[in-house]
């Protein structure tokens, strides 16, 4: 029987919490046997940034990237590792670079999702380019910003076409605010998007491989209070629809670690932001859901490497468009068809079987670790590095309480 040694690489920015958890659990996981009985051993390493030869062979089988969205040297290393070496990447650097928020809006509008009406307006301040003056003089048409806003209707949002982390996002209620925000946008390309005003629920789904967790989100809270622990906050049909939208986006773009924001009003699900590849999964943001996120990352990493799942750089947009373009299908029927494509892409059935038969001990490993002193130390260290000193005691108690709740729920679920 052959043995396989796998190395998982983590490409990181400033975070210490989830990588420490991920490393601890992978080390406790032990040997994983695949369906043929072959043994798979795992190790994790943090990737360093250094010059690389385009022909050098990376040692990693799979890389989880939380850095390349702003640091372009490692982004280019990811592209090399994908094209030259078949390294399995969470996520594809190609679609993530080219399919920013704007492209993601276009694609999902084409597929029939209820993205609010959105208009892209030209730069307020021109790009610095020697050819600009001549080109603009000849080809730029004057436009009436206020008339566009009037057509969309107030309130609306002005936000960068490729944004993240709420940078440059402004709620606009009248023509004065519109003009002020546009003047301030400078050289950032901006969307105007109709607001889903007075929505009932903000549901944020986090997808890791074939798994999706839908969480109740409140953007008006500070980061530590945005996710609330609530299980039945959507009715079954709306919950399924939200899950399907998340999976569809990810299957379409080949994003395997992504979050999707949807606003729900009167039973209608509006996706507003779903190009968030490699999203924040900090302990201080996810708290109760943190153990799930770490387990899902490990399950998906192990599934991909142990079964030899091939990374897929190619998109199959036509298969999705063929469903989108059918006049005989309702919105619900299209969603169902997309869900089928997503299940195929993510090998949902094979993945569930794999987790049940090959990783049945992972839940216990995680529970034991969260119960122990190492996890508590991580929680305390994370609070200390995230909040000012006078808030440490308060937040240590706060997060301990949330994780106590998770432990109780998990013990009940596992019957322990
Ligand atoms: N169309 C919209 N309707 C209602 N709220 C919106 C809309 N667009 C954005 N928002 C609010 O602004 C926040 C930031 O916008 P978003 O598109 O998510 O940008 P970012 O990519 O920076 O997270 C959202 O989380 C939401 O609270
Ligand atoms: Mg957002």
Kindly report the backbone phi and psi dihedral angles of residue 11, in degrees, each rounded to the nearest multiple of 5, phi listed first.
-105, 110
- Quick check: is 347 in a domain? yes
Is the pLDDT at 1 greater than 70? The verdict is no
31's tokens: 């040997």
- Quick check: is 103 in a domain? no
Question: What residues flank ligand 1, with Cβ below 6 Å?
Answer: 116, 157, 159, 163-167, 169, 193, 195-196, 219, 261, 263, 272-273
- Quick check: is 16 in a domain? yes
Is the pLDDT at 126 greater than 60? The verdict is yes
pLDDT value, residue 277: 84
Bridge partners, residue 159, by sequence? 191
Verify that 149 and 278 share a domain, yes or no.
no
Verify that 233 and 174 share a domain, yes or no.
no
pLDDT value, residue 19: 98
The answer to whether the bond into 6 is cis (omega within 30° of 0) is no
Question: Taking all residues of the chain, what is their mean pLDDT, rounded to a whole number?
Answer: 96
Cα separation, 161 vs 122, in Å, equals: 11
Our CA dihedral for 398, 404, 409, 411, rounded to 10 degrees, sits at 170
pLDDT value, residue 370: 98
Q: Which atom of ligand 1 is nearest to the CA of 168?
A: 22
pTM of the model: 0.95
Q: With bands split at pLDDT 50, 70 and 90, how would you rate the model's confidence at 337?
A: very high
The radius of gyration of the chain's CA atoms, rounded to the nearest angstrom, is 23
Verify that 376 and 230 share a domain, yes or no.
yes
Mean pLDDT of 73-102: 94
Domain boundary among 137, 166, 194: 194
Domain boundary among 174, 194, 214: 194
Cα separation, 377 vs 400, in Å, equals: 11
Q: What proportion of the chain, given as a percentage, has pLDDT over 90? A: 92
> Which has the higher per-residue pLDDT, 127 or 177?
177
166 CA distance to ligand 2 middle (Å): 6
pLDDT tens for each residue of 255-266: 999 999 999 999
Question: Which domain does 174 fall in, by range?
Answer: 117-194
Number of domains in the chain: 3
| CATH code: domain of residue 42 | 3.40.50
* Residues 69-104: b if buried by 16+ CB within 10 A, e if exposed: beeeebbebbbbbbeeeebbbbbbbbbbbebbbbeb
Verify that 392 and 287 share a domain, yes or no.
yes
Verify that 130 and 246 share a domain, yes or no.
no
Q: Which of 47, 63, 41, 38 is nearest to 311 (CA)?
A: 63
Cα separation, 252 vs 246, in Å, equals: 10
203 CA distance to ligand 2 middle (Å): 11
Ligand closest to Cα of 164 equals 1
Q: Do 118 and 153 contact (CB within 8 A), yes or no?
A: no
3-class DSSP state of 61: coil
Q: With bands split at pLDDT 50, 70 and 90, how would you rate the model's confidence at 96?
A: confident
**Nearest CA residue ID for atom 27, ligand 1:** 219
Ligand 2 is an ion; its neighbours by CB within 5 Å are 261, 273
pLDDT tens for each residue of 168-186: 999 999 999 999 999 999 9
CA angle centred on 363, ends 408 and 289, rounded to 5° = 60
6's tokens: 């796998």
Verify that 166 and 265 share a domain, yes or no.
no
Verify that 209 and 186 share a domain, yes or no.
no
Ligand closest to Cα of 104 equals 1
Verify that 124 and 69 share a domain, yes or no.
no
Verify that 342 and 255 share a domain, yes or no.
yes
pLDDT tens for each residue of 14-29: 999 999 999 999 999 9
Q: Do 46 and 19 contact (CB within 8 A), yes or no?
A: yes
Q: Do 158 and 178 contact (CB within 8 A), yes or no?
A: yes
- Quick check: is 131 in a domain? yes
**Residue whose tokens read 């990374």:** 311
pLDDT tens for each residue of 131-179: 999 999 999 999 999 999 999 999 999 999 997 888 899 999 999 999 9
CB-based contacts of 401: which residues, under 8 Å, 6+ apart? none
Is the pLDDT at 127 greater than 60? The verdict is yes
Verify that 228 and 310 share a domain, yes or no.
yes
Verify that 266 and 339 share a domain, yes or no.
yes
Domain boundary among 194, 214, 242: 194
Q: With bands split at pLDDT 50, 70 and 90, how would you rate the model's confidence at 231?
A: confident
- Quick check: is 106 in a domain? no
Distance of CA 284 to the CA centre of its chain: 17
- Quick check: is 44 in a domain? yes
3-class DSSP state of 345: helix
User: Helix-strand-coil percent breakdown of the chain, rounded to 5?
Assistant: 50, 20, 35
293's tokens: 């996120």
Verify that 171 and 227 share a domain, yes or no.
no
pLDDT value, residue 278: 84
Q: Do 49 and 71 contact (CB within 8 A), yes or no?
A: yes
- Quick check: is 24 in a domain? yes
164 CA distance to ligand 2 middle (Å): 6
pLDDT tens for each residue of 308-328: 999 999 999 999 999 999 999
Length, in residues, of the chain = 416
**Nearest CA residue ID for atom 6, ligand 1:** 195
- Quick check: is 48 in a domain? yes
Q: What proportion of the chain, given as a percentage, has pLDDT over 70? A: 100
86 CA distance to ligand 1 middle (Å): 35
Indicate the pairing of strand 257-265 with strand 201-208: antiparallel
Is the pLDDT at 2 greater than 80? The verdict is no
């Amino acid at each position: 029987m052959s043995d396989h040694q796998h190395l998982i690489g983590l490409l990181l920015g400033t975070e210490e919490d989830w990588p420490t958890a991920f490393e601890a659990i992978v080390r406790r996981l032990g040997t994983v046997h695949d369906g043929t009985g072959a043994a798979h051993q795992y190790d994790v390493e943090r990737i360093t940034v250094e010059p690389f030869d385009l022909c050098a062979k990376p040692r990693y089988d799979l890389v989880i990237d939380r850095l390349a969205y702003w640091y372009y040297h490692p982004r280019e290393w990811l592209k090399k590792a994908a094209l030259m070496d078949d390294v399995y990447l969470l996520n594809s650097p190609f679609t993530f670079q080219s399919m920013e928020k704007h492209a993601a809006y276009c694609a999902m509008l084409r597929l029939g999702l209820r993205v609010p009406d959105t208009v892209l307006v030209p730069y307020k301040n021109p790009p610095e380019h020697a050819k600009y003056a001549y080109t603009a003089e000849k080809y730029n048409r004057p436009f009436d910003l206020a008339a566009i806003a009037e057509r969309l209707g107030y309130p609306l949002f002005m936000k960068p076409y490729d944004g993240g982390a709420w940078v440059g996002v402004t709620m606009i209620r009248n023509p004065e605010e519109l003009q002020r925000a546009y003047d301030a946008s400078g050289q950032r390309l901006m969307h105007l998007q109709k607001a889903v005003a007075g929505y009932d629920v903000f549901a944020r789904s986090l997808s890791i491989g074939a798994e999706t967790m839908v969480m109740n989100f409140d953007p008006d809270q500070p980061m530590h209070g945005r996710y609330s622990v609530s299980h039945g906050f959507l009715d079954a049909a709306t919950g399924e629809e939200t899950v399907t939208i998340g999976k569809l986006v990810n299957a379409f773009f080949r994003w395997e670690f992504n979050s999707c924001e949807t606003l729900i009003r009167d039973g209608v699900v509006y996706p507003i932001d779903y190009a968030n590849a490699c999203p924040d999964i900090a302990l201080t943001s996810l708290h109760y859901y943190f153990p799930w996120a770490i387990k899902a990352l490990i399950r998906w990493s192990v599934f991909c490497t142990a079964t030899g799942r091939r990374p897929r750089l190619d998109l199959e947009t036509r298969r999705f468009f063929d469903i989108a373009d059918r006049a005989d299908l309702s919105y619900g029927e299209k969603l169902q068809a997309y869900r089928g494509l997503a299940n195929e892409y993510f090998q949902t059935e094979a993945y569930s079987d794999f987790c049940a038969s090959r990783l049945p001990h992972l839940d216990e490993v995680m529970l034991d670790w969260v119960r122990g002193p190492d996890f508590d130390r991580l929680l305390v260290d994370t609070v200390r590095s995230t909040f000012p000193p006078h808030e440490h005691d308060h937040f240590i108690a706060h997060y301990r309480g949330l994780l106590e709740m998770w432990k109780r729920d998990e013990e009940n679920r596992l019957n322990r």
